A and B are shown apart, each in its own frame.
Chain A
Amino acid sequence: MNQAVTRKDGLPDPLNTPLDQLDVADPRRFEFDTWQPLFERLRNESPIHYQSEGPGGPAPHGDFWSVTRFEDIVEVEKNWEAFSSEPSIAILDPEPDMSVQMFIATDPPLHDDQRRAVQGAVAPRNLQEFEAVIRQRTQETLDGLPLGETFNWVDRVSIDLTTKMLATLFDFPQEQRHLLTYWSDTATSDARITAGRGLSIDERRAIMLEMLQAFTQLWHEHKANDQESFDLIRMLQRDPKTANMVEEPLSFLGNLMLLIVGGNDTTRNSMTGGILHLHENPSERAKLKENPGLIPSMVSEIIRYQTPLPHMRRTATRDVEINGTVIPKGGRVVLWYVSGNRDSDVIPNADKFVIDRPNVRNHLSFGMGIHRCMGNRLAEMQLRIVWEEILERFECVEVMGPPVRTCNSFVRGYHELPVRLHPKA
């Protein structure tokens, strides 16, 4: 008798299906949080895994190689000459008539010039200036939350706080900050990586052009109102190598997309993930209550465990060997950070959420090598402040139901997490 087992993600059983019939990048595994067994199998059976097409024929993202072990990912990250970040750092190739240029998807020396121009905005020296304002906003947001009723933590806290911060970083009008969320979500909602649920290429293009127009105007306003501000736009304007970026729309647009997505999805989803991970691990919650000094360590653990960006992609510039497998020139190489972060050969008991684990900062969520996340210290600071202020106010942030997760192979996150607050006595 043919008894088909219905899995909640609607996908073939990852353990009893030939590997060549599985699409490693199917976003539904992230939507239903069923991704772990497939990646564990890949780490064990096929750590450098070639996938020619999806189970039902060519996948929307084409053929690619999956790298799933921690150490192999680091080796690829180191070798930026053989594993280029051009033309794209996502699994998809750029759209032919919308080939935006962003420094995360370039190699040195252009990469270094553009990154250096803006990284001062998120350097720890500048962060000290930001700390007081971030704390004040965090307090306002948390003090404005309803007590005794269930609400969506994603909207009321995670999106609110990350978008306020992003508006500050760009010196973008706070009253229009919801546009930053909208643009960020648009940038990552390509239908080809969201099981068809995202936007079409034409829809995305139109919205991205709106963003370009708004920021071009902002650029000229900031230019006319030059002041000692360490916002990202004025930093680009002050650096001779990027001072005219506004005149190269594809470069300006690409770098805006990078900075907006980089400063938005990642922190937002770690803010939500932390609440969920603590809820699911009561012993860790008890540790935190006992010793709030664990917050910085917990923040790193949350970022590892969440891995808000599950992958980055490189492209082989020549035939190149990695862990005994030769990847041919032109091969698309997907580094699954989400898998490397669960590699127990490097991180003991990697599937466990442990807020005081040794070497907690040694994770892949920020990437490694020259493209390592520029905003990592800002992200950690934002999360640290949120947790400090949560512990100040609430006995517990109770999770009232299962989260609604994003269906996206590039952003691992949440649309909804219903919670209820229990204030301190």
Chain B
Amino acid sequence: MPVITFIEFDGTQHQVDSESGLSIMEMALKHDIPGIDADCGGSAVCGTCHCFVEASNNLPAVEPQEESMLGLRPDREANSRLSCQLQLSEHNGDMTIRLPEFQM
């Protein structure tokens, strides 16, 4: 399984071995990585697990619900995603996830 590197807004890095069946959001919570709130628990209806995907392949496409929440983010970038919608498999390579300054 791929290795995920989380980079906090202040530059602090965390490396995590990903697990099948867990989303990026769930991995961040499991390893107590600051910067992901995930208020709604993974339904793509709160937008508080926003992240920037720096390097990756084979990511699932952005579905309309995720798009509608990302559209409200004041700090949205082209590589913005909701981490709860990112389920990985062994087909994914290693990934770097940058965390935003704040969630709202």
Contacts and interface: CB of A to CB of B under 8 A. Distances in A.
Interface of A: 74, 77-78, 80, 108, 112, 115-116, 119-120, 122-125, 359, 361-362, 366, 368-370, 372, 374, 376-377
A368 B104 CA distance: 12
25 contacts: A78-B44, A78-B65, A108-B68, A108-B71, A112-B71, A115-B72, A116-B72, A116-B74, A119-B104, A122-B104, A123-B74, A124-B102, A124-B104, A361-B38, A362-B39, A362-B40, A366-B46, A368-B43, A368-B45, A369-B69, A370-B69, A372-B45, A372-B47, A376-B104, A377-B102
Nearest to A115: B72
Contacts of B74: 116, 119-120, 123
A412 B22 CA distance: 38
B72 A368 contact: no
Contacts of A374: 104
Contact of A74 (B38, B43, B69): B43
A116 B74 CA distance: 7
Nearest to A370: B68
Given A74-B45, A368-B40, A369-B69, 17 more contacts: A78-B44, A116-B72, A120-B74, A123-B74, A124-B102, A124-B103, A125-B102, A361-B38, A361-B39, A362-B40, A366-B46, A370-B68, A370-B71, A372-B47, A374-B104, A377-B102, A377-B104
B37 interface: yes
B34 interface: no
A119 B102 CA distance: 13
Nearest to B75: A123
A369 B101 CA distance: 21
A359 B46 CA distance: 14
Contacts of B39: 361-362, 366
A339 B17 CA distance: 40
Contacts of A370: 68-69, 71-72
Interface string B11-34: 000000000000000000000000
B41 A369 contact: no
A376 B40 CA distance: 13
Contact of A124 (B43, B44, B71, B101): B101
Contacts of B47: 372
Main SS at interface, chain A: helix
Interface string B38-77: 1111011111000000000000000001001101101000
Contacts of B38: 361
B82 to A, nearest CB: 12
A362 B104 contact: no
B8 to A, nearest CB: 14
A291 B39 CA distance: 23
A122 B104 CA distance: 9
- Enumerate the 4 nearest inter-chain pairs by beta-carbon distance, A residue then B residue, closest first: A124-B102, A368-B45, A361-B39, A362-B41
Given A123-B104, A125-B101, A369 B71 contact: no
Most chain A C-beta atoms within 10 Å of own C-beta, residue among B39, B46, B71, B104:
B104
B69 to A, nearest CB: 7
A372 B101 contact: no
Given A123-B102, A124-B101, A125-B101, A78 B45 contact: yes
A369 B45 contact: yes
A228 B41 CA distance: 37
A77 B47 CA distance: 13
Contacts of A112: 71-72
A77 B44 CA distance: 11
A108 B65 CA distance: 13
Nearest to A109: B71
